[in-house]
Amino acid sequence: MFDIYLIFLPLVGFLIGLLVTTLGGGGGALYVPVLTLLFGVTPQVAVATSLATVLPTTAVGAYGHHRLGNVDVRTGLILGVGGIIGTLIGAYIGNLIPANVLKKALGVLLLIMIIPMIRRVLQGRKKQENDKMEDQETLRLTGSRRILASFFGFLSGILAGVFGLSGTPPVTAGLYSLGLPAVIVVGTTVFVLVFNSIAGVAGYLFLGRFDLTLTLLLGSGAVVGAFIGPRLFARIDRKVFEKILPPIFITISIVFGLSLILT
């Protein structure tokens, strides 16, 4: 089995790293099921390994997106602080509430989070918002909008802390609801997930649920995929991307949310 890990885990990490940094994410939603279903890793170890592997993936991906001008650092920091708090609290909550109950609650919450994005698509406001943001890399948040941004980051951290997920959907939904265009949403999302990963690794390392071998094998491939992802992203026509990303995100969120509720 160890030989199989050596052969396939770096490849799996590469594919996930490439995918999530192109679409905006960290890969936690893919790492955990792959490790548990295909490689027989226990859920507890899979969660810790996922968070540890997401860290280099998001760090490299965020750096690549930042160089391309796709990261709103100011907004990302606000969501990131909320993410750190949510991740640490999430790890604690996970030990108090039955996992099945919490999974269903988060599934319902995830479906609610896509409502702002669906409304935006139906109203056909994407082009207008993109034109307004085209020459603007940062979004100035004050008052209630700053609180709203932190709340989305907090929800993202809860997902990360409890289930080892990178926490992509709440961050992406939050950035869209704040009016950022798709290209900035993708890069800023990856940036925010770095904070979730750091907090998650610290928490689970303290709990002793950490497999260094699994992390190195997955992480080595994931870093390469994350490095290539933003460059692939740069070759995609932005107008086309603005059209295809919302439906992709909405579909993934619905599938993920229903899966949490029904399993």
**DSSP assignment string, 25-55:** --SHHHHHHIIIIIS---HHHHHHHHHHHHH
pLDDT of residue 184: 86
45 and 34 in contact (C-beta within 8 Å)? no
pLDDT band at 253 (very low <50, low <70, confident <90, very high): confident
Cα 114 to Cα 169: distance, rounded to the nearest angstrom? 8
Assess whether pLDDT exceeds 80 at residue 256: no
Direct distance between the N- and C-terminal alpha carbons of the chain, in angstroms, rounded to an integer: 28
pLDDT of residue 217: 86
pLDDT of residue 133: 40
**CA quadruple 20, 26, 27, 31: dihedral, nearest 10:** 150
Nearest to 113 by CA among 76, 159, 73, 67: 159
Q: pLDDT digit string (tens) for 193-208?
A: 899 889 988 887 777 7
For the beta carbon of residue 238, count every other beta carbon within 10 angstroms.
Answer: 14
Mean pLDDT of all residues in 2-20: 76
Cα 94 to Cα 172: distance, rounded to the nearest angstrom? 23
Q: Any idea what the Cα angle at residue 158 is, between residues 153 and 163, rounded to 5°?
A: 130
Mean pLDDT of all residues in 144-168: 79
41 and 49 in contact (C-beta within 8 Å)? yes
φ, ψ dihedrals at 61, nearest 5°: -65, -40
Q: What is the CA radius of gyration of the chain?
A: 17
Cα 29 to Cα 54: distance, rounded to the nearest angstrom? 10
